[in-house]
Chains A and B, each alone.
Chain A
Amino acid sequence: MKIKLELYGASREFSEKNYLEFSLKEKSSINDLRNEILSFIDKNFKGNNNFKKLVESSKFCSEQNNIVADSYKITKDQKIGIIPPIGGG
C-alpha cells in the first residue's frame, strides 16, 4: 500500500514538500507506519533525537479526518496526517 503522509507543524522539517510517501504491507497499522517514519528519520537525519521524539509523541489522522489509535489498520492506499503536539490559539 502507498501512504501519503501529510506533514504538519514541526514535522514539516522532515521534508521540503508537504508530505512523505511510504510503502507499507497490506493491513499495516498506524504503529507500523510510525516505525517506518522512525526508520526514515534514522536514514535521512542520522537518527535525530528531537525528530524521533516528535514522531513518538504524535497522533495520526485518517483520510476521514479522525484521530486514529496505534492499532488502527490501514486497508488501502490513502493519505494519513501526522499530528504533532499542538499549541495554537
Chain B
Amino acid sequence: MLHVKIIDVSKEKIDLVKAQKFIASSKCGASIYFVGTVRDQNDNKKVTGITYDSHDALVIKSFEEIYKETETKFKFNNIAVFIEHIKGYAALGDTSIIIAVACKHRTQAYDLSRFIIEEIKKRTPIWKKEHYENKDSEWLKGNPIKSG
C-alpha cells in the first residue's frame, strides 16, 4: 500500500498525522517515521531556510519506482509506505520530507525506511536552495541523477 505526494507549502502543510493514519494497520507490529527537517548549519554557513524545487512528475514516478523495487528486493507482505516531500520555502526546523512505513516486524521497518530515503537521495529530482544569515543564497551542488 503506497501513498506519495508533493506538498506545495504555499498551498498546504505537510502533516505527520496524515502519515500516521495512512500506515495504521493491525497487520503491522512496527512503524518507522523518518522526518527530514531544515537544520541551521551547512558547510560552516548559518542557514536560515531552504527553498525546495521539484520536477513533480518525475518525483512521483521515482517514488513509485522505489516502492516497486522494495517489493522485489525485500518481499515483505502487508506493508504500508507513505512518502511526502515539500516544494517551496521551508524555515529552520520545518519538515521537508516524511517517510512513514509499517511492516510486520521492526527489522523490516528499519530496512525499508532506510532503503527508501537512500534511494530518494540518489534518484529523486528535488533541489535545494539554501538561504543564509548574511542574506546570500545558493543552490546546493548535489549529485547527477541516477536513473532507473
Question: Chain A residues in contact with chain B, CB under 8 A?
Answer: 6, 8-10, 12-13, 57-59, 61, 65, 67, 81, 83-89
CA distance A11 to B128 in the complex (A): 12
B140 close to A12 (CB less than 8 A): no
> Contact check: which of A83, A85, A87, A88 meets B85 at CB < 8 Å?
A88
- Bound-complex Cα distance A16 to B148 (A): 31
Known: A57-B144, A84-B142. A89 touches B117 (CB 8 A): yes
Distance of A89 Cα from B14 Cα, bound (Å): 14
Q: Does B145 contact A (CB under 8 A)?
A: yes
List 20 additional contacts besides A58-B144, A86-B123, A89-B85; criterion CB under 8 Å: A8-B54, A9-B53, A10-B127, A12-B53, A13-B139, A61-B125, A65-B57, A83-B58, A83-B125, A83-B145, A84-B142, A85-B144, A87-B126, A87-B140, A87-B141, A88-B124, A88-B125, A89-B117, A89-B120, A89-B126
User: What secondary structure prevails in chain B residues at the interface with A?
Assistant: mixed
Please report whether the interface of chain A is mostly helix, strand, loop or mixed according to DSSP. mixed
Please, which residues of chain B bring their CB within 8 A of the CB of A87?
A: 121, 126-128, 140-143
Chain A residues, Cβ within 8 Å of B61 = 65
Chain A residue at minimum C-beta to C-beta distance from B52? A88
Q: Does B96 contact A (CB under 8 A)?
A: yes
Residue B19, interface by CB 8 Å? no
> How many B residues face the partner with a CB closer than 8 A?
29
B55 within 8 A of A: yes
Candidates B55, B58, B145; contact of A85 at CB < 8 Å: B145
**A9 cross-chain contacts in B, Cβ below 8 A:** 53, 125, 127, 139, 142
Question: Which B residues have a C-beta under 8 Å from some C-beta of A?
Answer: 36, 52-55, 57-58, 61, 85, 96-97, 117, 120-121, 123-128, 139-145, 147-148
State in angstroms the CA–CA spacing of A49 and B65 once bound together.
35
Query: CB distance A8 to B127 under 8 Å?
Result: yes
Residues of A within 8 A of B142 (CB): 9, 84-87
Which residues from chain B contact A12 at a C-beta distance below 8 Å?
Answer: 53, 139
User: Which of the residues A13, A67, A89 comes within 8 Å of B145, measured between beta carbons?
Assistant: A67
Hey, which chain A residues are within 8 Å of B97, CB to CB?
Answer: 88-89
Contact of A86 among B36, B117, B143, B148 (CB under 8 A): B143
